[in-house]
């Protein structure tokens, strides 16, 4: 990890746009620069104050803020000034994610960078922290559907700045979910640039439309309040208005819900606190650093607030000296990846002083459910499991919830009707892995026409098999020269990969590429290709996922062309989540791990340092 200008004993005076700071490194160990997009939105003021308040809990940490006033050019200049002033780490909340990406990439070559709120494409930053805005939109629409019920109804949407990524994601989530109710129509959509007064003007200009609608959904609470004001002015005070943010404070969404101004708000944490805590993990080179953290958003209504006040906190009933007990239900042992995953969990638990109850479900969902039930009976503090398939978990997870035991999904996701059944997901981005495998292939074969691909899939119904297929197809479908001619499951098991490939070779005369959902199956396919008298890696290109050591060995021999990394080393992050939970911290909704792409040309450079 690089830190900059930390030479002991020298004294520095920096003057930045709108701020200045002094550094005497005998007192200050780290300086964190914060390039804020604007301060016209209350949500961003809260973000900055969370950053400042959290930083105060770390002696020797100094924060330097800049405010871009919503100008991309100004934000680039701010970042430049912060770098030249000698910061150790940059936190940036981008004005606009696409345009600011090059400046973030350049900064990342010099120091760690945390991107807050608006995600940028690729992985050229240390960590992204933000809400899942698609889910936020979905949660809002779920409330609207429930509120309107079976009757015909209309809803109006007030969005933030038209070209901003969170707006697009919230709109998609909202509309997709709304389409599930044919009786509800979207009667209008207006952009008010996140601003209360603009929303008030819009509502004033379309009073009849607003007065006639059943629900008004605004992309933030400030705009929701603007609409309320316009309607209250003409005596309408009972309209169902919902917003997003759920900030505390006088005009914050929580107070507005309590006062009955808003029917509901969806919380959208700013990530300020998390950013400083993670910045310190990065600067102090701690274990278990993720790549992306998606923060939890929750529906808040008056009745939820009342209920919340009566529920005890996450560590209620524990005395501080009690050892933390984690029940972990592993799905089985399909191959090298899983072995490394199990080792990582067992050793991280030991290092963290966590008592681990470990069960191996031997690739049976029933056994995994039984293991979870045994952890509930044992009254563990936290349950974690790596779900063998996506569906079929509702009942047992309801039982865990009823017992007050939080559940963490490690490595894979589940599909459950009630999203509160899972406290947090500690997973890879499987769709992105599939996309990256396809992107590598398109580049590698860009001059070729009629590229015929066979796909060896993972276990049907499992999250990685579903998502890796989806991500790969999404990119391949854009090319007229590439076709997936056949696909069959190999369940992530080497021998099954061999069997599937043997059948493909019988069925198809000219296969150009094998895409395998994991390295083990690719290694099985290599055997089948060699037995058929062909040269893997040359006659047939092979791209797979995981990045296990055996895949690197195959690459150095020219038999495998590329592997996309999916890290099994989830133990440290899992233990951190468990400890954070027990200490009463709210866990994020989803934590994504870091992943690289390794074509065969670089295999020799990395093989000796591969940890699994």
Tell me the closest approach of the beta carbon of residue 411 to ligand AHR, in angstroms: 5
Alpha-helix runs per DSSP H in 284-429: 302-309, 336-352, 365-378, 394-402
Nearer to ligand AHR, 270 or 518 (CB): 518
Nearer to ligand AHR, 257 or 340 (CB): 340
Tell me the closest approach of the beta carbon of residue 342 to ligand AHR, in angstroms: 11
Tell me the closest approach of the beta carbon of residue 598 to ligand AHR, in angstroms: 14
CA atoms of 473 and 457, how far apart (whole Å): 12
Name 240's bridge partners.
215
Instruction: Please tell me whether residue 390 binds ligand AHR under the rule CB under 6 A.
Output: no
Tell me the closest approach of the beta carbon of residue 560 to ligand AHR, in angstroms: 14
Instruction: Please tell me whether residue 411 binds ligand AHR under the rule CB under 6 A.
Output: yes
Nearer to ligand AHR, 54 or 499 (CB): 499
Q: Are 266 and 139 contacting, i.e. CB atoms less than 8 angstroms apart?
A: yes
Which residue from 174, 492, 515, 598 is in contact with ligand AHR, where contact means CB under 6 A? 492
Instruction: Please tell me whether residue 566 binds ligand AHR under the rule CB under 6 A.
Output: yes
Nearer to ligand AHR, 14 or 492 (CB): 492
The contact mask relative to ligand AHR for 168-187 (x = CB under 6 A, - = no) is: --------------------
Nearer to ligand AHR, 302 or 610 (CB): 610
Inter-helix orientation angle 494-507/519-531, to 10°: 50
The number of CA neighbours under 13 Å toward the Cβ of 274 is 27
Which residue from 130, 335, 490, 547 is in contact with ligand AHR, where contact means CB under 6 A? 335
Q: How far is CA 272 from CA 66, 114, 164, 317, in A?
A: 15, 11, 20, 29
Nearest CA-CA partner of 117 in 192, 174, 179, 35: 35
Which residue from 62, 74, 170, 338 is in contact with ligand AHR, where contact means CB under 6 A? 338
Q: Are 38 and 101 contacting, i.e. CB atoms less than 8 angstroms apart?
A: no
Cα 597 to chain centroid, rounded: 19
Instruction: Please tell me whether residue 384 binds ligand AHR under the rule CB under 6 A.
Output: no
Alpha-helix runs per DSSP H in 310-425: 336-352, 365-378, 394-402
Question: How many residues bind ligand AHR, per CB under 6 A?
Answer: 12
Nearer to ligand AHR, 334 or 429 (CB): 334
Q: Are 271 and 47 contacting, i.e. CB atoms less than 8 angstroms apart?
A: yes
Nearest CA-CA partner of 181 in 157, 227, 149, 207: 149
CA atoms of 25 and 5, how far apart (whole Å): 10
Instruction: Please tell me whether residue 412 binds ligand AHR under the rule CB under 6 A.
Output: yes
Which residue from 200, 214, 334, 512 is in contact with ligand AHR, where contact means CB under 6 A? 334
Instruction: Please tell me whether residue 545 binds ligand AHR under the rule CB under 6 A.
Output: yes
CA atoms of 385 and 375, how far apart (whole Å): 11
Instruction: Please tell me whether residue 546 binds ligand AHR under the rule CB under 6 A.
Output: yes
Instruction: Please tell me whether residue 337 binds ligand AHR under the rule CB under 6 A.
Output: yes
Residue 506 token pair? 């019988």
Nearer to ligand AHR, 54 or 593 (CB): 593
Instruction: Please tell me whether residue 518 binds ligand AHR under the rule CB under 6 A.
Output: yes
Binding span for ligand AHR by CB under 6 A among 49-57, 78-86, 311-319, 331-339: 331-339
Handedness of CA 448, 454, 456, 461 (dihedral sign): positive
Alpha-helix runs per DSSP H in 86-220: 97-108, 133-148, 165-178, 196-205, 207-212
Nearer to ligand AHR, 117 or 520 (CB): 520
Contact positions vs ligand AHR (CB under 6 A):
334-335, 337-338, 411-412, 464, 492, 518, 545-546, 566
């Amino acid at each position: 990890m690089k830190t900059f200008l930390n030479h002991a004993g020298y004294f520095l005076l920096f003057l930045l746009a709108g701020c200045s700071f002094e550094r005497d490194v005998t007192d200050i160990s780290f300086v964190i620069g914060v390039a804020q997009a604007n301060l016209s939105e209350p949500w961003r003021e809260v973000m900055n104050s969370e950053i400042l308040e959290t930083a105060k809990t770390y002696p020797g940490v100094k924060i330097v803020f800049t405010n871009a006033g919503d100008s991309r050019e100004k934000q680039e200049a701010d970042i430049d000034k912060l770098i030249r002033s000698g910061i150790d780490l940059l936190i940036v909340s981008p004005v606009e994610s696409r345009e600011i990406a090059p400046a973030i990439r350049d900064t990342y070559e010099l120091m760690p960078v945390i991107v807050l709120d608006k995600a940028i494409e690729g992985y050229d930053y240390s960590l992204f922290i933000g809400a899942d805005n698609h889910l936020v939109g979905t949660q809002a629409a779920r409330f609207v559907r429930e509120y309107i019920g079976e009757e015909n109804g209309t809803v109006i949407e007030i969005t933030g700045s038209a070209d901003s990524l969170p707006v697009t994601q919230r709109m998609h989530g909202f509309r997709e979910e709304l389409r599930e109710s044919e009786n509800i129509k979207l009667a209008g959509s207006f952009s008010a640039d996140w601003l209360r007064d603009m929303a008030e003007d819009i509502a004033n200009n379309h009073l009849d439309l607003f007065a006639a609608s059943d629900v008004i959904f605004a992309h933030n609470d400030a705009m929701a309040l603007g609409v309320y004001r316009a309607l209250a002015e003409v005596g309408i005070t009972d309209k169902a208005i919902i917003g997003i943010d759920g900030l505390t404070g006088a005009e914050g969404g929580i107070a507005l819900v309590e006062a009955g101004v808003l029917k509901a708000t969806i919380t959208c944490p700013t990530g300020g606190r998390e950013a400083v805590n993670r910045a310190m993990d990065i600067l102090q080179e701690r274990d278990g650093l993720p790549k992306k953290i998606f923060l939890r958003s929750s529906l808040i209504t008056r009745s939820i607030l009342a209920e919340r006040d009566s529920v005890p906190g996450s560590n209620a009933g524990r005395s501080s000296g009690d050892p933390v007990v984690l029940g972990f239900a592993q799905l089985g042992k399909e191959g090298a990846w899983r072995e490394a995953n199990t080792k990582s969990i067992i050793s991280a638990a030991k290092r963290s002083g966590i008592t681990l109850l470990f069960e191996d479900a031997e690739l049976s969902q029933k056994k995994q459910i039984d293991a979870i039930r045994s952890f509930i009976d044992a009254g563990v503090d936290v349950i974690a499991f790596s779900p063998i398939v996506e569906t079929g978990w509702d009942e047992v997870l309801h039982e865990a919830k009823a017992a007050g035991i939080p559940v963490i999904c490690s490595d894979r996701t589940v599909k459950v009707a009630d999203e509160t059944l899972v406290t947090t997901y500690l997973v890879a981005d499987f769709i992105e892995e599939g996309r990256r495998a396809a992107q590598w292939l398109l580049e590698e074969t860009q001059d070729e026409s009629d590229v015929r691909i066979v796909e060896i899939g993972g276990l049907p119904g499992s999250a990685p098999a579903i998502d890796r297929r989806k991500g790969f197809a999404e990119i391949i479908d854009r090319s007229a020269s590439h076709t997936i001619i056949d696909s069959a499951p190999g369940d992530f098991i080497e021998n099954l990969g061999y069997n599937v490939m043997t059948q493909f070779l019988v069925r198809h005369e000219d296969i150009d590429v094998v895409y395998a959902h994991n390295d083990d199956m690719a290694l099985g396919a290599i055997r089948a290709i060699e037995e058929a008298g062909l040269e893997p890696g040359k006659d047939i290109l092979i791209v797979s996922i995981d990045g296990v050591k055996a895949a690197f060995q195959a690459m150095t021999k020219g038999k495998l062309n590329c592997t996309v990394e999916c890290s099994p080393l989830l133990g440290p992050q899992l233990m951190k989540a468990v400890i954070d939970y027990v200490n009463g911290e709210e866990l994020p909704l989803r934590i994504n791990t870091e992943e690289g792409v390794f074509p065969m040309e670089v295999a020799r450079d990395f093989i000796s340092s591969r940890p699994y």
